[in-house]
Structure formats: structure tokens, C-alpha cells
Chains A and B, each alone.
Chain A
Amino acid sequence: MTTVKTRRTLAKAGVLTGLVLGGLFAGLPVLWMLSTSFKSNGEVFRNPPKLITESFSLDAYREILGNGAQLRFFLNSYIVAGAVTVLTLLVAVLAGYAFSRFNFPLQRTINAVIVSVQAVPPITLVIPYFGLVVALGLYNTYPGLILTHMVFTLPYAIIMTTAYLNTLPRELDESVKVDGGNSWTALWRILVPISVPGLIAVGVYTFMISWNEYLFALTLTRTDDMRTVPIGIQLLMGQHSYEWNQMMAMSILGSVPVLVLFLLFQRRFIGGLTAGAVKA
């Protein structure tokens, strides 16, 4: 019995050590970002480097939060990323269902096309895409940006929803159909609720891709009232020098919504919802 207990303690210690080492790997650069946001610009490159410097201050945060234009960037990012997440999830669930549960002509071709469209280097796509958006009258509008981000996140979302739905056995669908339901009810009554952890993962990632996207957000917006946070951050990278502390402050502030989203939904990641439920 002692051996079992010691083995358990050793295992626990092992996992904890692993977690701590991994945590250092993941967290140190972010810690440095935080530390830089509190420094004055002259101290950023100081040698030898220090974590906390003499002129520690919250000025950078004050400047960002007091700047109307920057706050507008945050608002725009929220609106765009939020809409993109909801709409993409919706469309992707429908598409994933089609790929997972049906056999139809052109299925493989359509699937391959969806996966491949994200392969075109965005930089070559920018100019014709931009022309198209202008022609559609979507230049410098929310819908223009939202639809664009949807197109970028859909391939990923569809691949993942297909994968998650594929892990669910067909008997689940049958159980609904026996009760008189059709494919629509099978999807929304059974499959979606079970796939919630997977869908949340997809949703969080979609939100992040949209939130952090820069190239098309820059190209498709013209005025400050439409621009998003990544553009706001790059605006601080001037011709002659960078506003390091503000850049870092804005990045930290920009990461907060995603972090909050993650915190809110992470309980769903933890087991219980699917383990053992319904499956034979």
C-alpha cells in the first residue's frame, strides 16, 4: 500500500514539475510584456535588463484608456469578433453536419475546395479581394470585415465541427429519428448539445483569429471609427521608434476579452457533460 501511495505522490510531483516548467515556457514572454508595459520607453532596451524598473508607472494604460480613438478600436474589435464567432459557428455546424452525416455527389470536391481556399497566400489575395469588396459596397463597413473574417475562419471551423461530429456515433441520430424527428432535429436536439466542448473550442479560437487579424482589417477599413485593435497596436510602431509601453499595454488590454471568454466557458471543457452520457 505504501508503494501505491508513493507512486501516486511521485506521479503527482512529476506532473506538477512538468506543469511548472511548461508554465515558465509559456508565461515568461508574457510576463516580460507586462513588465515592459510599466516601463518608460527609454528603459526598454536597457542592458542589463530588469523586470521592474525605477520609473514603474501605469501611464501607458492611462493613455490607452483615455484615448477615444483607441477605445473605439476595442469596441470595433468586439463587434466584429463577436459577430464572426456566432455566425461562423452557426454556418460551420450546418456544414459539418452535411459532411459528417450525409453522402452526396461532389462531397469530396466541395470539402477539398473549402480546405484549400485558405491556402492562397493572403498577400496575393489582398488586391483582387479589395477590389471585390469595394465593388460590393462593403468597404469600410462592419459587414465587410465580418464576412471577410467568416471566410477565413469557416474552413477551420468546418473541419473541426466535422471532426467532432464524426466522433459521435450514428445511433444518436437514429434515436431521434425513431422518435419521428428529421435531420434538423437530430442535429440541434442531440448532436450539438453533446458537441458543446468542441464547439466552444472552435468558438474561442474563431473569436481569437478575428480579434487578432491584421492585414484585411487594415486594408478593408479606412477611418479610425472602423479600425480594430491590431491596427491600433501597429499605429504605435512609428517610422522612427516604437511606443513600447503603450504597445504592450494595448496588447495586454486586448488579450483580456479573450481571456474572459475562455474563463467563462472553460468549465465546459471539464468532463462530465459527455463522459458516459448516452453512449452505450
Chain B
Amino acid sequence: MALRTTGLKRILAAATVALLAACGSGGSGGTSSDGTVTLEFAQWWGAELPAGDFDKIISDFTAQNPTIKVKLLSAPYASTKQQLVTGAASKTLPDVVGLDGAWVSDFAKQGAIADLSKLMTEAGYNPGELASQVQIGGKTYMIPVVNFVYPLFVNKDLLAKAGVKDVPATRTQFLDAAKKISAAGGDVKGWALPLDTAVPNGVQNDVMSWLWASGGSMLQDGKPNLTSAPVKSTVEYVKSLNDAGVIAPGSLTMKEQDKVEKFTTGQVGMVIDSLAHINLIKKNNPKLDFTVAALPAEDGFTGKRGIPYASWGIGVSNSTEHKAEAFKLVQYLMSKATNAQLSTIANGFPGNKTAEPDFSKSDPLFKAAFDIYQQGYPANEFVGLPKSEDLMRSFDEQLQLVLTGKATVDDALAKSQESWASVIE
């Protein structure tokens, strides 16, 4: 027993040593004695790019700006927003932050991110090259660096097997193709609709996209307009797809990643998906023969088609002491050459409209998608809206009621309109 106590004491001593030795490790951004500024840049981009590529882009920045060092911080994508809110609350947000357009309104309201318009003026920067800026109240808070569009992906083998000659271009053709693919047998379905409420992006990418593809809008003068005819026809169309049994099972809890997997393994014939997945799909299933196309519009619609998109956006922390240096990094990433390079390796479209991504080494599908992009217009009305995730979720919940037959389309839209109106003032 005495021995046991000694053993315990030894362990305790070791633990204390470990504790003391580890005290105070982990640094943070700041200015060191020789005047070098270290910026912390929190993003999830590096993990999505080929190994080492993003580091190289950043080290080129340091080469051009010897007094500024950049420390890349990464966090799991699913927890990014929550970590940013937490960091903002105690003013420990990293100097430069990667943002999603859907978060901007709330972070700006929280006072977490800085007014970039002001920084642009101070730096004498001309925002003319920027394809878009996300503004709240006339001030820019986020600049989209790379845009990922969501065209329609079509499995050509399944289409051919179903006896459909052309890629559908109207809603009627799409419904028809989906029916034929589902009827061809083997547990295959025509379409996948991810309506997971934890991350309700499906409302943006897979539902509202139909609305935007026919030039429709869910807002009017900035206020929600969900009971309008175009929105109603969109929801009714999705319901018709569901009633026809062409949607892959598990829709109500399906996540975006599942949708991609099912398309890759040939279980679903057509999905609306991010261009960024092209290389992923090819890597996981090299034998898959697929193509991209514009999202089908309402029959007879001849106008420009909106194409949904998500961006890698960038913002500057409002509590950083190095705003000028932080903006230099932003400028660098938006510069013509760097932006083009970043877009090419990310398989996205540049946020700098003068930058030309290099399609020579990439998949011909990218060029096809770029053409579609330029023929239409980028459409994502959720960007810049307050509590956009909450808006998507309340709409999602009503849509689920419609799809399970527990509510009519009119009721669902009326309820959603009510929820949205209380959020968007």
C-alpha cells in the first residue's frame, strides 16, 4: 500500500511536470520586435486544394511583403461558423477570415467583421475589378474570392439507358427524363434532393435554384415574397417530382455529401451540384460518363438563367490591430494573377472579373460550365440576408410537410412567408 502511494505520487509528479512544461504554448498574431507583423488567416480552403498549393500562394505573398507573415489556421468546415461567432464574442477572431456569404449579415451586425469599403478607400484600392462585393447598408463586408457554381450534372450512361436522347432543358423534359431513369430499374432514381435541416443548403442549391433558373425571385424590394406565383410553381414542381417517385429515398435527412456520393456511384441520374466536385467525382469513379448543363427552366422561358453559387469569401476582423496589413492580403488574393491561379486550382470561377482561369489543363467540363456561367447570371438571393440559415431551415421544414402530404403548398408558403417576414425587417 505504501508502494502504491509512492507510485501515485510519481504519476502526479509527472503530470505536474507535463502541465508546467506545456504552460503558455501556442502563439497568436502580433507584432514582433523587428516590426514584422504576423497575420492569422482562418480558412477551410487549404484542405480542399491539392496539398501544398495554398501554402505556396501564401508564401509568395510573404515574398512580396517581407514585413508580413501569414499563419494559416484551419478548422473543421462544419464548425467554422460556430467558432467564428465564439471568437468574435471575445474579440479573439483571427485577423483575416474566410467567410460564406450566408454569414455576412449576422457577423456585420455583431460587429465582428470590418468595413472593407473603408479599408479600400484607405488603401487607395479601386474595387472596379471585383466581380461582386457583399454589402450591408452600402458598406462592403465580404469579397467573394472564388465562386463555385451549381449547374446540373447528368449521368449520360443512365440517360442513354433510359432512352432519353437530349439533356433536359425544360422542367417538363426534366420530369420526363427523371421518370424514365427511375423506371429503368435497379434501384436507380432520377434526382436527389438533400433536405437535411442541420445544414439546410438544399433549399438554396436544389430548390430555389429552380426558381432562379427561370428568372424568378423570392424577394420583392428586399422583402420576402414567397406567396408569389413563381415561388408557388417552383414548390409545386418539386412536389410533382416527389409524387412521381423519382427522388432518391432518404431525402428528408440527406446531406449534400450524400447527394454527391449517390451520383458518383450511379445511384442517381441527375443532380444539381457544385463544379468543385468534378475532380472529386472523376477521382472516385473514373468510369462515370457525365456532363454539365444549365438548370432547366420553365417551359417557354427564354430569358437569362440564374445559376446558384457558393463562394469562398474573405473578410477582415473588426478587432484586429493590423487592418492595413490584413487588407494587403485581401488585395493580393484578389489580384488578377493570383486570383486566376487560385480559381484554377480550386476549380472555381474568379472573383476578379478580369482574371482568366486557365482551362487548358483542366477538364473540358469546366470550360462548358464557364460558358453556361457567362450566358446566365450568378443567382443566390440568400447572400447578405440576415439569419439566412434560419430562413432556409424554416422553408425546409414547411417543404418537408408538403412532401409528406401534411400541408398544402399554399399553407406552407404562407407559413414560410410569416417566418421570413419576422426575420427580414
Indicate yes or no for A touching B, C-beta below 8 A.
yes
Question: How far apart are A74's CB and chain B's nearest CB, in angstroms?
Answer: 15
Contact with A along B73-86 (1 / 0, CB 8 A): 11111110001011
B23 at the binding interface (Cβ < 8 Å): yes
Question: Would you call A146 and B283 a contact (CB within 8 A)?
Answer: no
A202 at the binding interface (Cβ < 8 Å): no
Contacts of A3 in B (CB 8 A): none
Question: Would you call B277 and A240 a contact (CB within 8 A)?
Answer: yes
B1 at the binding interface (Cβ < 8 Å): yes
| Binding stretch for chain B, among A5-13, A15-23, A215-223 | A215-223
A82 at the binding interface (Cβ < 8 Å): yes
Contacts of A234 in B (CB 8 A): 76, 78-79
Question: Would you call A222 and B11 a contact (CB within 8 A)?
Answer: no
Contact of B23 among A141, A188, A218 (CB under 8 A): A141
Contact with A along B346-364 (1 / 0, CB 8 A): 0000000000000000000
Question: Would you call B90 and A127 a contact (CB within 8 A)?
Answer: yes
B198 at the binding interface (Cβ < 8 Å): no
Contacts of B24 in A (CB 8 A): 137, 141
Q: What's the tally of chain A residues with a CB closer than 8 Å to chain B? A: 46
A231 to B76, CA, bound (A): 7
Question: How far apart are A166's CB and chain B's nearest CB, in angstroms?
Answer: 21
A42 to B25, CA, bound (A): 40
A141 to B22, CA, bound (A): 7
Given the interface pairs A86-B15, A242-B257, the reply to whether A223 lies near B26 with Cβ below 8 Å is yes
A141 to B28, CA, bound (A): 12
| Residues from 133 to 185 in A contacting B, C-beta threshold 8 Å | 134, 137, 139-143, 146
Question: Would you call A241 and B25 a contact (CB within 8 A)?
Answer: no
Question: How far apart are A84's CB and chain B's nearest CB, in angstroms?
Answer: 9
Question: Would you call B280 and A241 a contact (CB within 8 A)?
Answer: yes
| Residues from 66 to 112 in A contacting B, C-beta threshold 8 Å | 79, 82-83, 86-87, 90
Inter-chain contact total with CB atoms closer than 8 Å: 121
| Residues from 332 to 355 in B contacting A, C-beta threshold 8 Å | none
Question: Would you call A238 and B48 a contact (CB within 8 A)?
Answer: yes
Contact of B77 among A139, A224, A237 (CB under 8 A): A237
Tell me if B's interface is mostly helix, strand, loop or mixed: helix
Contacts of B85 in A (CB 8 A): 127
Contacts of B219 in A (CB 8 A): none
B276 at the binding interface (Cβ < 8 Å): yes
| Binding stretch for chain A, among B261-269, B314-322, B371-379 | B261-269
Question: Would you call A142 and B77 a contact (CB within 8 A)?
Answer: no
- Name the residue on B nearest A231 (C-beta): B76
A2 at the binding interface (Cβ < 8 Å): no
Contacts of B264 in A (CB 8 A): 42, 45
Is the interface on chain B under 10, 10 to 19, 20 to 34, or 35 or more residues? 35 or more
Contact with A along B16-35 (1 / 0, CB 8 A): 00110011111110000000
A218 to B80, CA, bound (A): 10
Question: How far apart are B36's CB and chain A's nearest CB, in angstroms?
Answer: 18
A186 to B1, CA, bound (A): 11
A130 at the binding interface (Cβ < 8 Å): yes
Contacts of A86 in B (CB 8 A): 11-12, 15
Question: Would you call A143 and B23 a contact (CB within 8 A)?
Answer: yes
Question: Would you call A47 and B265 a contact (CB within 8 A)?
Answer: yes
- Name the residue on B nearest A41 (C-beta): B284
Contact with B along A222-233 (1 / 0, CB 8 A): 111110000100
Question: How far apart are A196's CB and chain B's nearest CB, in angstroms?
Answer: 9
Contact of B22 among A127, A130, A142, A240 (CB under 8 A): A142
Question: How far apart are B170's CB and chain A's nearest CB, in angstroms?
Answer: 29
Question: Would you call B265 and A240 a contact (CB within 8 A)?
Answer: no
B47 at the binding interface (Cβ < 8 Å): yes
Question: Would you call B83 and A218 a contact (CB within 8 A)?
Answer: yes
Question: How far apart are A253's CB and chain B's nearest CB, in angstroms?
Answer: 18
Contacts of A131 in B (CB 8 A): 89-90
A82 to B89, CA, bound (A): 31
- Name the residue on B nearest A232 (C-beta): B76
Question: Would you call B284 and A42 a contact (CB within 8 A)?
Answer: yes
Question: How far apart are A243's CB and chain B's nearest CB, in angstroms?
Answer: 9
Question: Would you call B73 and A47 a contact (CB within 8 A)?
Answer: no
B126 at the binding interface (Cβ < 8 Å): no
Contact of A134 among B71, B92, B265, B283 (CB under 8 A): B92
Question: How far apart are B77's CB and chain A's nearest CB, in angstroms?
Answer: 4
Interface residues of A (CB under 8 A from B): 40-42, 44-47, 79, 82-83, 86-87, 90, 126-127, 130-131, 134, 137, 139-143, 146, 188-189, 192-193, 218-219, 221-226, 231, 234-235, 237-242
Query: In the complex, given contacts A82-B15, A218-B79, A241-B280, what are 8 additional A-B residue pairs having Cβ atoms less than 8 angstroms apart?
Result: A42-B283, A45-B262, A83-B15, A86-B11, A139-B26, A225-B25, A237-B78, A239-B48
Interface residues of B (CB under 8 A from A): 1, 4-5, 8, 11-12, 15, 18-19, 22-28, 44, 47-48, 71, 73-79, 83, 85-86, 89-90, 92, 187, 256-257, 260-262, 264-265, 267, 274, 276-277, 280, 283-285
21 contacts between A and B (CB under 8 A): A40-B284, A41-B283, A42-B265, A47-B267, A82-B18, A83-B19, A90-B8, A134-B92, A141-B24, A192-B4, A223-B27, A223-B71, A224-B74, A225-B25, A234-B79, A235-B74, A237-B76, A239-B44, A239-B48, A241-B277, A242-B257
